[in-house]
Amino acid sequence: MDLPLFFISDIHLLLNPNGGEAGRQQRLFRFLDHVQASGGTLFIVGDLFDFWFEYKQVMPKVYFPFLTKLYALKESGTEINYLLGNHDYWVMDFITDTLMTNTYFDDISFEANGKKFYITHGDGLLSWDRAYRVLKRMLRNPLFVKSFRALHPNIGYAFANWVSRRGRHFVHTDEYNRRIVEDLLGFADERFAEGFDYLITGHYHQARQVERNGRHLLILGDWINYFTYGEFDGQSLILKTWET
């Protein structure tokens, strides 16, 4: 893969765009132009869409501007790696074969320029998230996916949009965010003990970089409140903000 490496997560492109959605997408498009101009590699670490469920012949037209932009980025020669999140796990061949260079259904690890990376979307990692881990297994069960796909797309997307609006809580207290970081550091320390230099995660909607004995936990923030991304230039990994 080509350097630099760019990491973003939790963009949550909306099914029902609000007044600020067009400007948010244009900001994202300028970032994608920057990635292309750099000659680097893009990693999308989950929750690109607020909801994505791929049917054999149908896709939501509201995403068309972004889909064409991302397809043009791939056609330009930029490698796009997509690690699926809890909002956009249910993909088929349009995502895996047409839109993305590589699509990952679980955590990934790799080495670049002598540094070892562990990448995870992060959902279900917290020690107290037992109920969610049960729900996660259910929602990714092939029988559930097949049953949902049997619904008419208008019904499926209307239901998913209703659920998504009820669960859209992206701002947390400082104390809650501190608890999350402490819990994630336990998981990160295990990966660091295995020899990884960097653990990168999304999902938690806070932008944070924590160093542990020369190794780094990077929580990517989001493109709702923070507009943050990680960049690895071959020497170091830095959390940056796009267009401050």
Q: Give the pair of three-digit tokens for residue 79.
A: 């490698």
List the strands of the sheet with 198-201, edge to edge. Answer: 108-112, 115-120, 198-201, 215-220, 207-212
d(CA 212, CA 217) in angstroms, rounded, equals: 8
Sequence-ordered strand ranges (E) for the chain: 5-8, 41-44, 80-83, 102-104, 108-112, 115-120, 198-201, 207-212, 215-220, 228-232, 237-241
| Main-chain dihedrals φ then ψ at residue 25, nearest 5 degrees | -70, -40
Angle (CA) 105-226-21 rounded to 5° is 80
CB distance 100 to 93 below 8 Å: no
Give the model's pLDDT for residue 65: 93
Kindly state the greatest CA–CA separation across the chain: 52
Q: Tell me the per-residue pLDDT of 151-179, one tens digit each, with 9 for 90 and over.
A: 988 888 888 777 666 555 667 788 888 99
d(CA 72, CA 11) in angstroms, rounded, equals: 19
Give the model's pLDDT for residue 164: 66
Give the model's pLDDT for residue 169: 60
Q: Yes or no: is domain 5-241 CATH 3.90.79.10?
A: no
Q: Tell me the per-residue pLDDT of 17-28, one tens digit each, with 9 for 90 and over.
A: 777 888 999 999
pLDDT averaged over the chain?
A: 92
Q: What is the CA radius of gyration of the chain?
A: 18
Q: Give the pair of three-digit tokens for residue 17.
A: 């765009």
Closest alpha carbon to 192 in 109, 123, 72: 109
Give the model's pLDDT for residue 168: 58
- Quick check: pTM over 0.75? yes
Burial 161-195 (b: 16+ CB within 10 A, else e): beebeeeeeeeeeeeebeebeebbeebbeebbeee
pLDDT of the chain, 244 residues: tens digit per residue: 899 999 999 999 988 777 788 899 999 999 999 999 999 999 999 999 998 999 988 888 889 999 999 999 999 999 999 999 998 999 999 999 999 999 999 999 999 999 999 999 999 999 988 998 998 999 889 999 999 889 988 888 888 777 666 555 667 788 888 999 999 999 999 999 999 999 999 999 999 999 999 999 999 999 999 999 999 999 999 999 999 7
d(CA 39, CA 18) in angstroms, rounded, equals: 33
Give the model's pLDDT for residue 220: 98
Q: Give the pair of three-digit tokens for residue 127.
A: 């020690």
